């Protein structure tokens, strides 16, 4: 099956893992209000856009997963794993009729990722191009690791934060030590990058997505206060003010050149809702979006 970019295009997305842990949901592995993993089972084909708020390792157990990344569709099967950086992804699951799709998503603790890369002694080059994913073939060791992960959902004695953090270190060290660095180095660089170039790339990549300043700080490996300070130094403006201005400028172009509704344009520009968009547009330009569009054609 060929999946096109148009099929995946969406302005709505889900935070994953969710912002609040539900301790009664057995499909999530949660310890001390921290998400560690998700056991995903689907019996109907679904397509959705997801904001991964943590770097994530995906282990396919049954079926195939399709991800739309930078105008390319990536297919992952049960003989492969994929390491995804924090970010927004369009996803679909496919499987044979009468069967289920199953996967485990391992949400990696940011501190653990940093510790492993530091302990391994990688010479990080923060100025490399953005790399969103790393797809690798499985082997006997990884297959055993997948089986072990399933046991953590069933055995309460294993639901211990220290044990789970060590489990994350185990797989990261294994990938680093067994996969040729020329194949993986660009990805590791992207995962931990804090360069100005990387920050600007991320801000502009997600400019028209409904992400908060806190979300952008997380994506650029910064605290909120550090992100705001560096943003102001680069762009000469607080983040929210600058982002809103760019979104409004884009909205003007859409109002002039498209027949989309006001609500659709609000979504396409990354605003929370059309009422807020209308108020902000009028405050900035002195006209509502509808009046601005009318004036353009009179």
Q: State the pLDDT at residue 19.
A: 80
Sequence spans of domains, the chain: 5-192, 197-296
152's enclosing H/E stretch is helix 140-154
Q: State the pLDDT at residue 265.
A: 96
Measured CA to CA, the distance from residue 284 to residue 286 in angstroms comes to 6
Return the minimum-mean-pLDDT range out of 16-25, 128-137, 243-252.
16-25
The two tokens of residue 238 are 């607080």
pLDDT confidence band for 279 (50 / 70 / 90)? very high
Mean pLDDT of 102-108: 96
Mean pLDDT of 11-31: 83
Mean pLDDT of 220-244: 97
Fold of domain 5-192? Jelly Rolls (2.60.120)
pLDDT confidence band for 168 (50 / 70 / 90)? very high
Q: Do residues 21 and 35 make contact, with C-beta atoms less than 8 angstroms apart?
A: yes
Instruction: Please state the φ and ψ torsions of residue 292, each to the nearest 5 degrees.
Output: -60, -45
pLDDT confidence band for 21 (50 / 70 / 90)? confident
- pLDDT tens-digit profile of 53-79? 999 999 999 999 999 887 889 999 999
The better pLDDT of the pair 100, 37 is held by 37
118: number of Cβ within 10 Å:
11
Q: Which CATH architecture has domain 197-296?
A: Orthogonal Bundle (1.10)
pLDDT at residue 116 above 50? yes
* pTM score of the predicted model: 0.89
Q: Could you check whether 5-192 and 197-296 share the same CATH topology?
A: no
Q: State the pLDDT at residue 110.
A: 92
Q: State the pLDDT at residue 10.
A: 45
Mean pLDDT of 240-254: 96
Q: State the pLDDT at residue 277.
A: 96
Q: State the pLDDT at residue 235.
A: 96
Beta strands 14-16 and 47-52, pairing class: parallel
Q: State the pLDDT at residue 48.
A: 87
108: number of Cβ within 10 Å:
23
Q: State the pLDDT at residue 123.
A: 82
Measured CA to CA, the distance from residue 251 to residue 244 in angstroms comes to 10
pLDDT at residue 297 above 70? no
17: number of Cβ within 10 Å:
21
């Amino acid at each position: 099956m060929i999946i096109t970019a148009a099929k995946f295009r969406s302005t709505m997305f889900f935070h994953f893992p969710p912002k609040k842990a539900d301790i009664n949901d057995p499909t999530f592995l949660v310890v001390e209000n921290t998400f560690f993993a998700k056991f995903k089972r689907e019996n109907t084909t679904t397509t959705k856009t997801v904001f991964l708020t943590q770097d994530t390792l995906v282990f396919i157990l049954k079926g195939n997963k399709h991800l739309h990344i930078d105008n390319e569709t990536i297919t992952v099967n049960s003989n492969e794993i994929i390491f995804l950086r924090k970010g927004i992804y369009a996803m679909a699951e496919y499987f044979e009729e009468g069967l289920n799709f199953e996967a485990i998503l391992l949400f990696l603790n940011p501190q653990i990722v940093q510790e492993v890369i530091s302990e391994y002694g990688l010479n990080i080059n923060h100025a490399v191009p953005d790399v969103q994913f790393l797809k690798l073939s499985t082997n006997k060791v990884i297959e055993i690791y997948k089986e072990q992960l399933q046991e953590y959902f069933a055995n309460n004695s294993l639901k211990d934060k220290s044990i789970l953090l060590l489990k994350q270190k185990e797989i990261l060290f294994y990938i680093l030590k067994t996969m040729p660095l020329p194949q993986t180095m660009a990805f590791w660089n992207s995962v931990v990058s804090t360069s100005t170039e990387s920050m600007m790339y991320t801000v502009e990549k997600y400019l028209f997505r409904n992400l908060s300043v806190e979300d952008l700080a997380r994506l650029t490996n910064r605290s909120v206060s550090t992100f705001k300070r560096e943003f102001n130094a680069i762009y000469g403006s607080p983040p929210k003010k600058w982002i809103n201005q760019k979104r409004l400028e884009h909205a003007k172009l859409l109002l002039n050149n498209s027949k989309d509704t006001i609500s659709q344009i609000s979504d396409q520009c990354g605003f929370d809702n059309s009422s807020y968009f209308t108020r902000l547009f009028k405050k900035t330009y002195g006209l509502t979006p509808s009046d601005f569009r009318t004036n353009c054609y009179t």
